[in-house]
Amino acid sequence: MNHKLTRIAVFASGNGSNFQAIADAVQAGELQAEVALVVTDKPQAVVVERAKKAGVESFSFIPSEFDSKQLYEQMIKEKLEELEVEWVVLAGYMRLIGPVLLEAFENRIVNIHPSVLPAFPGKDAIGQTMAAGAENAGVTVHFVDAGMDTGKIISQESFPVAGRDRAAVEQKIHEIEHQLYPATLQQLFSR
Ligand code: GRF
């Protein structure tokens, strides 16, 4: 098959506002891609509903039903191959990617993280940023490696925390994410 559009899968565990931003950018013709699949480890997540509304197939699994990450990643890998997915886009997927998917999609897995990496990797990056009294908060898009938010940085945007409470920082981060992620993906895919 000859696909003109880059075929992507979005992995998410929660609200999926970044999935929505990507799907909207595709719809608007700003991102030349096709979201072939949403993958989630939380079958009840809001992102599943969003996928349905956007006409995107979703693939849910329950990690605890598998003996190992290797086994469920093998299953995901088969699904991605069946749909000829070329890039894996993590958007609030709350699990580390293991060797099965890292090898199958070498240099073709990206993530968005709500801090100015390498500062504040891992969970609750916004909470970490506030607790540390950091001058700046922000967003990073990066390639995914075996570590926690340690892969090569692709794009970043930051802003001063001063005068903002946590809710305002969070809101600003989401605003940035919803622009930065689709724009960064478009740049990556048109390389
Ligand atoms: C985003 O803040 C993203 O940076 C982080 O998880 C959050 C996901 O939000 N990795 P949503 O589910 O896309 O709304």
Summarised one tens digit per residue, pLDDT across range 113-155 is 999 999 999 999 999 999 999 999 999 999 999 999 999 999 9
Residue 87 lies in a domain: yes
CATH code at position 20: 3.40.50.170
Flag whether 64 is in a domain: yes
In DSSP notation, 126-163 reads HHHHHHTT-SEEEEEEEE--SSSS-SPEEEEEEEE-TT
For residue 38, is it within any domain? yes
Does 2 belong to an annotated binding site? Answer: no
Question: How much is the pLDDT for 2?
Answer: 41
Out of 3, 113, 142, 174, pick the active-site residue.
113
Q: Tell me if 22 sits within 8 A of 185, measured CB to CB.
A: yes
142 occurs within a structural domain: yes
Q: What is the mean pLDDT of the chain?
A: 97
The pairing of strands 153-160 and 136-143 is: antiparallel
Q: Please check whether residue 155 lies inside any domain of the structure.
A: yes
Q: Is residue 107 part of a domain?
A: yes
pLDDT band at 25 (very low <50, low <70, confident <90, very high): very high
11, 13, 18, 89, best to mutate for ligand 1 pocket (most atoms within 8 Å of CB)? 18
Name the residue among 190, 126, 113 with its Cα closest to residue 155: 113
Q: Is 185 among the annotated ligand-binding positions?
A: no
Is residue 1 situated within a structural domain? Answer: no
Tally of domains in the chain: 1
Catalytic residue list contains 174: no
Is the CB of 12 within 6 Å of ligand 1? yes
pLDDT at 191 (0 to 100) = 86
Domain limits at 26? 6-189
- Asked, for residue 81, whether it belongs to a domain, the answer is yes
- Measured at the alpha carbon of residue 151, what is the angle toward residues 146 and 153, in degrees to the nearest 5? 170
What's the pTM?
Answer: 0.97
